[in-house]
Amino acid sequence: MASVLRSLMPLVALAGMALAGPKSCPSNIPLSCHNTTEVADTCCFIPAGQLLQTQFWDTNPVTGPTDSWTIHGLWPDNCDGTYPAQCDTSRAYTNISDILSSTTGGSDTLAYMKTYWKDYKGDDESFWQHEWGKHGTCISTLDPSCYSGYKPTEEATAFFARTVALFKTLPTYQWLADAGITPSSSRTYALADVQAALQNQHGAKVTLSCRGKALNEVWYHFNVQGSLQQGKFVAAQPDGAKGKCPSKVQYRPKSGDGGS
């Protein structure tokens, strides 16, 4: 696996050079949370290097498509289960929709977010601001100093684009359906079967959370080789015991019937 990663890195570096913005990274950067000595270049290495792509299954109220989980965020954890938060209030932007709609790539990201990155209270913009300010500003490779010819807010565009791209590789609804686990207002499922279905696809244990008995969140854990923007995400075991569900769980339909 490590040698496959290494052989891919020159391609990633080339792609980096073709883009204005974040600098390209050397190929010998260690995988995050796997360094044995200090890594000075935090534009190419994320010290809070366990990244969690977190997803919701919201049934009360319903958010998002009935056949898809939705995005919660992309969170940097320290490699020990703790996490940094609100790392740069000067970049806690309050205009995420405007930032994204002002660039071509960002507009595509924004259009996708409007369907798949939903706030249960109906205020998507505030939710995106919260996710960026609390978590995004703590990702070292998004620091303005990591960009050549930095244009204000471009790192936020990169954060949302990367989160959306990663989410698209983690189709929880489909993975569960493929294992015969579909929403039902009457059935329950063994938590171990839900875990096994997702773990088999992701390649590492996932974190599952419930509201009461009802399955409500899944967190996919990764380490990263290189930057958030252009590096390689590698499935990782959770860096701590998180989430809480009973051994038999409900997976309620998004039918709008009041859920739990």
Active-site positions?
72, 131, 135
CB of 225 to ligand NAG, least distance (A): 13
Buried residues in 31-68 as b, exposed as e (16+ CB within 10 A)? bbbeeeeeeeebbbbbbbbbbbbbbbbbbbebbbeeeb
Which range of residues in 10-18, 90-98, 125-133, 164-172 is near ligand NAG by CB under 6 A? 90-98
Residues of span 54-83 touching ligand NAG by CB under 6 A: none
Q: How many other CB atoms sit within 10 Å of the CB of residue 123?
A: 12
Q: Which amino acid, 216? A: N
Residues of span 100-119 touching ligand NAG by CB under 6 A: 102
22 has which bridge partners?
Answer: 147
CB of 239 to ligand NAG, least distance (A): 14
Which range of residues in 91-99, 119-127, 183-191, 197-205 is near ligand NAG by CB under 6 A? 91-99
Binding mask 149-178 for ligand NAG (x = CB under 6 A): ---xx-------------------------
- For residue 122, give every residue at least 6 positions away whose Cβ sits within 8 Å of its Cβ, in sequence order, or none: none
Q: Is 35 in the site for ligand NAG (CB under 6 A)?
A: yes
Which range of residues in 31-39, 141-149, 169-177, 188-196 is near ligand NAG by CB under 6 A? 31-39
Q: Is 95 in the site for ligand NAG (CB under 6 A)?
A: yes
Which residues of this protein are in contact with ligand NAG, per CB under 6 A? 35-39, 47, 93, 95, 98-99, 102, 152-153
